[in-house]
Amino acid sequence: MLYRTNNVWISGAGLLAILTIATCLVIPASAEQVKPTSAGTLNVGLSTDPAMPNPGEPTQIKINFINKQTNSTQVHIDYKISVMQGSEQVFGIPITHTAEGVVSIPFQFQTAGTYQVTVDVEGVVFQPIPPETAVFTIDVGNTAPAIPEFGPLSGMIIAISTIGVVILSKRINLRL
């Protein structure tokens, strides 16, 4: 099927390619990891801002407690957090409470490497529960792609765009 716009004919596949590229440009990349707690009471989401933290730069560790039945944020959670690099604890928050079910913790990683973030849940809606854990891995200081917002999609976007330009130029009889 061909579509005509401003005296230029575009095939259905070309239009689909353009819409795909536009969608990739509009939807932000998300690096949220979601894991169930050890006993499965909740899901815990963890992400960082920036998505690829570097040593010495301010980072926000974002944690979202998710109700498994409704898949929405679970309010009123008692939790504690520890950040380990190897066998050394480099950061920790003792048992605390979030009314909103979402927390953002400022932290600055000192060295490059792999860090382990452990989230312990000890209460839900003011009811104590046996401690349940969710463990996450954060890589700090790894080489970022050329365009971190797109990651591996950037090469595909460039290739599709180039092919689209060639196809369109042939259809409208342009000489490159």
21 plus 95 within the same structural domain: no
CATH number where 110 lies: 2.60.40.1930
Structural domain of 168 = 1-28+149-176
157 plus 72 within the same structural domain: no
Q: Higher confidence at residue 172 or residue 48?
A: 48
Q: Is residue 136 within 8 Å of 46, Cβ to Cβ? A: yes
88 plus 42 within the same structural domain: yes
94 plus 154 within the same structural domain: no
Report the pLDDT value the prediction gives residue 166, as an integer from 0 to 100.
73
Tens of pLDDT along 44-92? Answer: 999 999 999 999 999 999 999 999 999 999 999 999 999 999 999 999 9
Count: domains in the chain: 2
Report the pLDDT value the prediction gives residue 6, as an integer from 0 to 100.
57
44 plus 115 within the same structural domain: yes
Furthest C-alpha separation in the chain: 72
For the ranges 4-8, 138-142, 166-170, the lowest mean pLDDT is seen at 4-8
39 plus 23 within the same structural domain: no
CA-nearest of 120, 123, 45, 131 to 77 is 123
Q: How confident is the model at residue 159 (pLDDT cuts 50, 70, 90)?
A: confident
pLDDT at 25 over 70: no
d(CA 22, CA 49): 24
Tens of pLDDT along 105-120? Answer: 999 999 999 999 999 9
